[in-house]
Amino acid sequence: MKVVQNLVSPSKYSIKCPYSMALEFIVVHNTANDASAANEVAYMIRNNNQVSFHYAIDDKEIVQGIPENRNAWHAGDGGNGRGNRKGLSIEICYSKSGGQRFIEAEKLAAKFIAYKLKEKGWGIDRVKKHQDFSGKYCPHRTLDMGWQRFLDMVQKELSGGGNVTQDKNQPSSWAKEAWEWAKKEGLLDGTRPKDPLTREEFAVVLKRLVEKK
Ligand SMILES: [Zn+2]
């Protein structure tokens, strides 16, 4: 899974991520803002506030600002709080106004969280919300839309992502007969049934068809 890194300068570790960390769970946030992931991270690493987070995710990309082996200040539970000292923080962008780009950002976040859980051998119980640590109503829009719904999105990705488990080397049932025919007639070579057809491949198939007559 592609992650863009724009990591905070080590000269700012004392402000943004002073402690080394062995992370134990994931903490989900909403930005309550309408900025892109790249802009959220750029702003976070530029300012000198004791506010920080590991990843921001929008509808297009995942941007990392703090290394995973450092803590971040995001959970509002103090200098020794479990959220701040053990949590991998993920900000979902565009939650202020919501809409389609927030929907897409949540989807990408669910994918990324599932990927992280798999990477660490963790279950869905390792996914927490900011609210669990400080009582703040965050991730606000994700909570409005349903926390269990979001967990279900992550769980679906964990379990293989719905119908992506279909075999890419087998034609769909509705196409099987035609696929076998085209293969037998030598029009298609019988590989890659799910790939799109290019114009040049189409030209080759047309030529084979005409020349058979
Ligand atoms: Zn939060």
3-state secondary structure 129-142: ECHHHHCCCCCHHH
Among residues 93, 110, 103, 88, which one has the least CA distance to residue 31? 93
- Look up the CATH architecture of domain 2-166: 3-Layer(aba) Sandwich (3.40)
The model's pLDDT over 129-147, given as tens digits with 9 standing for 90+, comes to: 999 999 999 999 999 999 9
Residues flanking ion ligand 1, Cβ below 5 Å: 29, 130, 138
Instruction: Round to whole Å and give the CA distance between 83 and 128.
Output: 9
Instruction: Round to whole Å and give the CA distance between 146 and 154.
Output: 13
Say which range, 10-19, 26-35, 71-80, 161-170, has the weakest mean pLDDT: 161-170
Instruction: Round to whole Å and give the CA distance between 117 and 24.
Output: 11
CB atoms within 10 A of CB 100: 9
Write down the H helix ranges in the chain. 13-16, 37-46, 82-86, 100-120, 131-134, 140-145, 147-158, 176-184, 199-212
Domain map (residue ranges) of the chain: 2-166, 173-211
CB atoms within 10 A of CB 191: 8
Pick the more confident residue, 171 or 77. 77
C-alpha of residue 68 to centroid of ligand 1, in Å: 18
Percent of the chain beyond pLDDT 90?
77
C-alpha of residue 156 to centroid of ligand 1, in Å: 24
How does the average pLDDT of the chain come out, rounded? 93
